[in-house]
Each structure stands twice: as structure tokens, then as C-alpha cells.
């Protein structure tokens, strides 16, 4: 039997308890090594073969960031940054998208009369690869932009990338938000334990009590033949699935935030009741905040030629209000959709949100004239 260290397993909580006890007993240097090697152990529980893949991303960006910082030649700095992007996006493409694009290429070739046999690719997607590659990319880009200095202590830097609470399901962290917390020896406070345990229990309630009980209803509903369902059935299943993924994903974020807090590490919030948003602008300020903030600072705003920040706060709220930047809007949202999964349905999901944002921009001058209470009520319903 293979034991996987999922957040709602007894294995994880035994592991977490041991790490917390040791962490508060150790010196600063010992804490860093504890976090790094325990994170590798946590990741290895899923599949040991995944560890070298992650370390390639970690080591390459550590070295490239140091080179970027010390080099004064702008052309060389750009080339080093490009190399970082090629390594990280290459890893991501191979493990997550190669089969998808290969199958599409074969399908297109067969469509135009060129007979090609399907590729028998057996590629296992490493857990958390979309998260840690985005974190290392943001680190190197921030160093290139001069927003942060590269971290010379490899173990300290590696703790930021591999830190086990956020390794599998986020939040997508920025180096400027986390590394400084590991670099100082924080004092033990019962407040950390109380807040951490409370957040973990809250996350477990969302996962075990709500999400896991909605899941069988959704699975059985989606397994029914379409002709056996009425419109009300389809709407009900759609809403149930929406709540399932929200409670499931936000639960993992709560447990991650709580687990980190047990070690005195503060994570930014990742969800803020997104289904109570009263506009697309408000929704993208509340949903998967760390990812949408990453897309804002490293994709949308650079494409739009607008100054960027390096904080995983605010989500894509700012991007929803920028007019006359429609091309970056659709590119960014299509890529965000593809980030979620290697399928055209995910791309369409992203483009759907881009259209919603585009329409919202057009209607914004009209909406300003509405009664505030009516606008909020109607906005929540529509959103």
C-alpha cells in the first residue's frame, strides 16, 4: 500500500506535529535544514522521482539569479533571465503539456490526410509543478527587475520554494514575502499555535464535512446520461460542482496557512468568499488571490506595458479596470485557463472570463448610475 501525505490524512498530522516540535527546539540554522529536508520528505511521500525535477528548478534559478544580480551587461542579464524561463517553462511543458500538444498535432495531421499513429507517451505529472515553477520564475524575474536581491544562502532560498505547506496546492508565494521570515529566529508564541490549529480545523471542516460530501452527488449526477436530466438538474449540478471545487481548494489553502503559522510563518490569504463578489472585478480580488496576482504581475501588466509590483495581494482586480488593453486581457486569461489544466476546455474557461471582464468594462460607466444597494444585490446574483 502506498502512503500519500495528503492534508487530511493522519500521516500528515503526525509529520506536522514532529516538525513543529523540532522546529521550536532548534537553532535558526538547524530550523532551515529541518524545513528543507522535511519538505523533501513530504514531497517524496508522493513520489521520490519527483524530487530531482523540483531540485532542477530550485538550483538553476538560485544560480541564475546570482548571475543576473552581479552582471552589469543588460543583454547578458536578459539572456540569463531567458535561460531561467526556458528551464522552468520547459519542465512545465514536458510534464504537463507535451501529451496535450502532441495529441492535438496528431489529430490535426490526420484531419488533413497525413496518417500518424498516436504517441504512446507515459509521462507522470509531478505534484505541485505548476506552483513551484511559478515561484522560482517570480523569484528570478524580481531579481532581474531589481525589486529584490538574490538570496546567497541556498538552504534559505530552497525553503522558500519547497516549503511543504504550500508545495502541493499553493498559495503561490513571492520571495519578498517569505524568505525574510525564515531568515530570522522567531520566538515561540502560543498565538501561532492557536491560530494555526484553528485554521487547520476550519480547512478540515470545509474539506471533509462539506466538499467530500458534495463530491459523490456531483460524480453521480455527471455520470447520468444527458437525456435523463432536465434543466433544473443541470443547473443544480453546475452549482454543486462550483461549491465543491471552492470548498475543496479553499480548504487546502486554510490548512496550508494554518500549517505555516504553527511554525510562525505568515502566508497571504488565498480566498476571500469569492461567491459573494458583486462584480467580476470583485471576484478576481477574492478567488485564488495568489495565482491571479501572479498572472497580473508577470503576464498581464507586462503585456499591457504597465508598471508591476511583487506582492501576491489584490488579485486581478486592477486588471479588470484597465481599458483599451484587450489583447493582453485575452492572452492572460487564456494562459491562466491552460495553467489549470492541459485541455481546450480550460482555455475556453479562461477566455470566458476574459469576455466577462471585457463586457464589464463596457458596462462600467452605466453601472455607476445604479442605486448602490441594488447594484450590490444584482451584482452578486449575476456574478
Cβ-Cβ contacts under 8 Å for 167 (sequence gap 6 or more): 39, 42, 43, 127, 128, 131, 132
- One of 254, 288, 340, 353 is an active-site residue; which one? 340
Cβ-Cβ contacts under 8 Å for 234 (sequence gap 6 or more): none
Whether residue 340 lies in the annotated active site: yes
C-alpha cell at 319: 486588471
Dihedral sign from CA coordinates of 124, 127, 131, 137? negative
Report the C-alpha gap between 237 and 5 in whole angstroms: 30
Match 529566529 to its residue by C-alpha cell. 185
**Cα 129 to Cα 97, 169, 292, distances in angstroms:** 12, 10, 17
| C-alpha R_g of the chain | 22
Burial of 67 (0-12, 13-18, 19+ CB in 10 A): middle
- From the list 61, 19, 13, 64, the residue with the least C-alpha distance to 39 is 19
Pair 312, 177: CB distance under 8 Å: yes
Report the C-alpha gap between 144 and 38 in whole angstroms: 30
Active site residues: 340
Amino acid at each position: 500500500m502506498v502512503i500519500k501525505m495528503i492534508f487530511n490524512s493522519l500521516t500528515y498530522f503526525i509529520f506536522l506535529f514532529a516538525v513543529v516540535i523540532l522546529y521550536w527546539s532548534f537553532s535558526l540554522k538547524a530550523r532551515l535544514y529541518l524545513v528543507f529536508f522535511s519538505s523533501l520528505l513530504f514531497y517524496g511521500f508522493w513520489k521520490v522521482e519527483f524530487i530531482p525535477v523540483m531540485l532542477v528548478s530550485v538550483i538553476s534559478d538560485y544560480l541564475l539569479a546570482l548571475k543576473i544580480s552581479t552582471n552589469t551587461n543588460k543583454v547578458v542579464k536578459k539572456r540569463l533571465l531567458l535561460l531561467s524561463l526556458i528551464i522552468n517553462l520547459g519542465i512545465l511543458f514536458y510534464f504537463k503539456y507535451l501529451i496535450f500538444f502532441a495529441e492535438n498535432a496528431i489529430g490535426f495531421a490526420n484531419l488533413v490526410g497525413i496518417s500518424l499513429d498516436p504517441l504512446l507517451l507515459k509521462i507522470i505529472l509531478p505534484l505541485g509543478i505548476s506552483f513551484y515553477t511559478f515561484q522560482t520564475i517570480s523569484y528570478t524575474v524580481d531579481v532581474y527587475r531589481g525589486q529584490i536581491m538574490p538570496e546567497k544562502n541556498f538552504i534559505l532560498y530552497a525553503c522558500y520554494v519547497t516549503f511543504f505547506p504550500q508545495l502541493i496546492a499553493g498559495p503561490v508565494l513571492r520571495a519578498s514575502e517569505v524568505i525574510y521570515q525564515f531568515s530570522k529566529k522567531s520566538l515561540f508564541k502560543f498565538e501561532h499555535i492557536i491560530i494555526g490549529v484553528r485554521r487547520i480545523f476550519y480547512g478540515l471542516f470545509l474539506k471533509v464535512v462539506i466538499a467530500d460530501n458534495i463530491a459523490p452527488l456531483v460524480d453521480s449526477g455527471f455520470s447520468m446520461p444527458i437525456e435523463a436530466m432536465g434543466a433544473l438538474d443541470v443547473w443544480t449540478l453546475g452549482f454543486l460542482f462550483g461549491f465543491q471545487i471552492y470548498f475543496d481548494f479553499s480548504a487546502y489553502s486554510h490548512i496550508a496557512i494554518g500549517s505555516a503559522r504553527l511554525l510562525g510563518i505568515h502566508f497571504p490569504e488565498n480566498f476571500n468568499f469569492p461567491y459573494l463578489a458583486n462584480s467580476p472585478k470583485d471576484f478576481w480580488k477574492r478567488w485564488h488571490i495568489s495565482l491571479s496576482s501572479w498572472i497580473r504581475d508577470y503576464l498581464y501588466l507586462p503585456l499591457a506595458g504597465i508598471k508591476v509590483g511583487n506582492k501576491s495581494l489584490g488579485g486581478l482586480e486592477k486588471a479588470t479596470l484597465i481599458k483599451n488593453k484587450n489583447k493582453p486581457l485575452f492572452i492572460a486569461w487564456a494562459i491562466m485557463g491552460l495553467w489549470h489544466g492541459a485541455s481546450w476546455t480550460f482555455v475556453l474557461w479562461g477566455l470566458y472570463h476574459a469576455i466577462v471582464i471585457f463586457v464589464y468594462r463596457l458596462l462600467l460607466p452605466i453601472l455607476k448610475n445604479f442605486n448602490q444597494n441594488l447594484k450590490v444585490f444584482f451584482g452578486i446574483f449575476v456574478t
